[in-house]
């Protein structure tokens, strides 16, 4: 009987965790995954300082999504949509080889 009560008490918690996990996954689905084939082909990195400087010599210190023409976030936003990734979110500190300095 005790185990049944324990189970009944745990059940809502497990459900909440499952829903929370789904919400987290849904949120991640809107972010550009560096392992996504398109992102990988463009050398996308979540942290611009980790850009492959040997493979992408055009990378220069200070470049990041926040200063890119294709970044659709507002100045100061931690993240925003990127035009070449179908509006998926990128961190303002990310970078890819399609970087184009904001005019
Ligand atoms: Fe970031 Fe610009 Fe590349 Fe989009 S195109 S991921 S905003 S550097």
Residues with CB under 6 A from ligand 1: 44, 65, 68, 70-71, 82, 84, 90, 94-96, 98-99
pLDDT band at residue 4 using 50, 70 and 90 as cut-offs:
low
Q: How far is the CA of 101 from the centre of ligand 1 (A)?
A: 10
In the beta sheet, which residues pair with residue 81?
Answer: 89
Model-wide pTM > 0.85: no
Rg of the chain, C-alpha, whole Å = 20
What pLDDT sits at residue 63?
Answer: 98
Residues 14-61 have pLDDT tens digits of: 443 344 444 444 456 699 999 999 999 999 999 999 999 999 999 999
Instruction: Measure 95 CA to ligand 1 centroid, in angstroms.
Output: 6
Ligand 1 atom 4, closest CA: 82
Query: Roughly how many angstroms between the first and final C-alpha of the chain, as a whole number?
Result: 70
Which pair of tokens denotes residue 16? 């909440």
- Among 60, 35, 39, which Cα is nearest to 49's? 60
Give CA–CA dist 99/66, Å, rounded: 10
Question: How is residue 45 annotated by DSSP?
Answer: B
In sequence order, which residues have a C-beta less than 8 Å from that of residue 99 and are 6 or more positions away? 58, 59, 63, 65, 68
Q: What pLDDT score does 6 carry?
A: 47
pLDDT computed for residue 45 by the predictor? 98
């Amino acid at each position: 009987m005790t185990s049944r009560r324990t189970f009944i008490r745990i059940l809502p918690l497990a459900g909440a965790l499952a829903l929370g996990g789904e919400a987290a996954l849904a949120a991640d689905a809107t972010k550009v995954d560096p392992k996504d084939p398109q992102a990988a082909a463009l050398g996308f990195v979540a942290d611009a300082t980790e850009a492959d400087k040997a493979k992408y010599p055009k990378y220069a210190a200070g470049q990041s999504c926040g200063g890119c023409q294709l970044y659709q976030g507002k100045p100061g936003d931690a993240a925003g949509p990127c035009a070449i990734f179908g509006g998926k979110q990128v961190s303002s500190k990310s970078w890819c080889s399609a970087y184009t300095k904001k005019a």
